[in-house]
Structure 1
Amino acid sequence: MTPQVACRVGATLGEGPMWDAARGWLWFVDIKGHKLHRFDPSVGALETIDAPEEPGWVIPLADGALLVGAQSGVHRFEDNAFALLHAVEPDLPGNRLNDAAVHPDGSVWLGTMDNAEEAPSGGYYRLHAGACTALSPDPMVITNGPAFSPDGSTVYLVDTLERVILSAQIGADGHPGEARLFARLPEGMGYPDGPVVDSAGIVWVGLFGGWGVARFAPDGEFLGRVEFPVANVTKIAFGGADLTTVYATTARKGLSAAELAAQPHAGDLFTFTLAVPGLPPGYPTA
């Protein structure tokens, strides 16, 4: 598990990697750069789409279009045009969408955050059957995730500034129950960023300012981390034909000129391989 550069990107805030299994592509975003990126590992090619707002995430749809979470809400992108489907928190113009995941039932769960990273105004939502419903827990400054256990019964939610990962059982109505503490990052390991879960139920969390990706057992035990040559690792995705190829987004945001000089690959896309595969990403039905 030694990360290598998959593609030079130089993203200010690379985020939200999502594998498109049907096409063999990896989608991800540069939030502060207003970019959607598509990486084709078969030829090593990177294509870029300009976004009108800060895009927090991009999720491919089965029909070839994209769902894009941006500042104003959830958009559909096709034929080189963005169309707003669901306004999210229009009463909080300082918030933006930050991370998202597809539940096994086809619903899209997404989180918001204060773009100034100061106010506890971020929350979680579930997009399903044409409706976008607010979820618990209490508001956070920066939400990350969610991620789901292999059977879809547990959701993992990240409170980045508090350095904690929460978990909750998902009820028959598709909504989470009371959130409990799953794991807390110690001082010196950075801030927990985007989470994902592999086929063995291991929770992987990007470490912003922590030089790697942390791994936690299903009971919350810390299993170690994969170390990177850059400080800000934001999130991973499992890709390739057998889902054992890992892709990781990284960021230049917050680094000084001296730090950037010492980290020439900050903001690039990294990759490494695993013995245990990830989970199929699935396509939304929302």
Structure 2
Amino acid sequence: MNAKTDADANADAAATAALLVDARNLLGEGATWCARSGRLYWTDIEGASLSRYDPRDGSHVTWEMPERLGCFALCEDEGTLLLGLASRLAFFDLATGDLETIVAIEPDLNTRVNDGRCDRQGRFVFGTKDEAALVQTIGGFYRLNRDLTLERLPLPAPAISNSIAFSPDGATMYYCDSPTRQIRACEYGADGTIANDRVFVALADETGVPDGSTVDADGGLWNAQWGGERVVRYDAGGRETARVKIPTAQPSCVTLGGALLDTLYVTSARADLTAEALARDVHAGGVYAAPAGRTGVAEPLFQGSRRRG
């Protein structure tokens, strides 16, 4: 009998995810584990809400948002989140629900904020998507710096930005324009410079498009593949090393969390599914979990501060 490869071992360890929260989100996204509090956050974009789940007692809290919430980041200030709302970035006070707008995003375009993550230097990197029925590449990728200045990154304009993640050392940025079915990578300097933009992975499966991603401590990229009922792990060279079945049609975003950062949490969506599909996919829009067989990296905190006075 042949010895198992590293990929085989990981596939066995995390072969199928189980339903964790029957959230019934229209468009669950933004899975983010807060290592500081031991809680899982995510957004229902089309439901215009933010959720927090504590796996220690099963408690689930939801905040209604004034507009759709595309993405968000944990902040150095523990009681604050940085929100990527559809039209703007804002600080959100978890205790009071107060919002403080930072900057409007693409006010002259029919776009909204979509995917986003902090880089290892504590700056928020995010992208937008076209809102038109015939989606075009009119969006952009941006970085909110620690001093709250906004800059557009020199990356190709996306139709639907996704898969933003950073290698453990912060030197590689991953991102995608989902309709291309390619995940890209580029060199990402500590000073924010970008170079050597290239294709990292081109999806070979007939189903599924790349959606949200996270990285593990070994440098592997975990990607939720919308329409493919799966999360796939790629090593730093772009080789598939593990595949987790998600028993719902539209997995959307992933994070590694839990006490040891070794649980894979996956959001999903029920938007755009027909009545017949929903009858078969009864937990669409739920949050799923599986042992990853790998250890994650604590989510970076946004280092910028709210304006006072």
TM-score by length of 1: 0.96
CA distance in 2, matches of 1:222, 1:275: 15
**TM-aligned CA deviation for residue 8 of structure 1:** 1.2
**TM-aligned CA deviation for residue 172 of structure 1:** 4.6
Distance 1:22 1:224, change over 3 A: closer
CA distance in 2, matches of 1:213, 1:115: 26
Q: Tell me, yes or no, if the aligned pair for 1:27 and 1:59 is still in contact at 8 Å.
A: no
AA in 1 matched with 2:86: Q
1:83 aligned onto 2:100: yes
Greater RCO structure (CA 8 Å; 6+ sep): 2
- CA deviations on 1:204-237 (whole Å, 9 max, x unpaired) are 1111100111111111112342111101000111
Q: Indicate the residue corresponding to 2:82 in structure 1.
A: 67
**TM-aligned CA deviation for residue 50 of structure 1:** 0.6
CA distance in 2, matches of 1:145, 1:131: 23
Q: Indicate the residue corresponding to 2:150 in structure 1.
A: 132
1:165 aligned onto 2:179: no
1:26 aligned onto 2:44: no
Q: Indicate the residue corresponding to 2:223 in structure 1.
A: 205
AA in 1 matched with 2:249: A
CA distance in 2, matches of 1:271, 1:113: 28
Q: Indicate the residue corresponding to 1:36 in structure 2.
A: 50
CA distance in 2, matches of 1:54, 1:119: 20
AA in 2 matched with 1:100: G
Match of 1:106 among 117, 122, 127: 122
Moved more, 163-172 or 220-229: 220-229
AA in 2 matched with 1:77: F
Q: Tell me, yes or no, if the aligned pair for 2:25 and 2:269 is still in contact at 8 Å.
A: yes
CA distance in 2, matches of 1:65, 1:30: 19
Structure 1: which 5+ residue stretches go unaligned? none
**TM-aligned CA deviation for residue 114 of structure 1:** 0.8
AA in 1 matched with 2:148: G
Which has the larger strand fraction?
A: 1
Moved more, 146-155 or 182-191: 182-191
Q: Tell me, yes or no, if the aligned pair for 1:17 and 1:236 is still in contact at 8 Å.
A: yes
Q: Tell me, yes or no, if the aligned pair for 1:137 and 1:178 is still in contact at 8 Å.
A: no
Q: Indicate the residue corresponding to 1:220 in structure 2.
A: 238
**TM-aligned CA deviation for residue 170 of structure 1:** 1.1
Q: Indicate the residue corresponding to 1:5 in structure 2.
A: 19
Secondary structure of 2:184's partner? strand
Structural mapping, 1:176-187, within 5 Å: 176-187=194-205
Q: Which runs of 4+ in 1 moved over 3 A?
A: none
CA distance in 2, matches of 1:217, 1:10: 32
1:252 aligned onto 2:266: no
Q: Tell me, yes or no, if the aligned pair for 2:121 and 2:190 is still in contact at 8 Å.
A: no
1:152 aligned onto 2:170: yes
Q: Tell me, yes or no, if the aligned pair for 2:32 and 2:41 is still in contact at 8 Å.
A: yes
Q: Tell me, yes or no, if the aligned pair for 1:213 and 1:226 is still in contact at 8 Å.
A: yes
Q: Indicate the residue corresponding to 2:5 in structure 1.
A: none
Structure 2: which 5+ residue stretches go unaligned? 1-13, 305-309
AA in 2 matched with 1:200: D
- After superposition, the CA RMSD in angstroms is 1.3
AA in 2 matched with 1:186: A
AA in 2 matched with 1:52: P
**TM-aligned CA deviation for residue 46 of structure 1:** 1.1
Secondary structure of 2:279's partner? helix
Give the number of equivalent residue pairs: 285
Highest CA radius of gyration, 1 or 2? 2
TM-score by length of 2: 0.89
Moved more, 155-164 or 223-232: 223-232
- Percent identity between the two aligned chains: 35
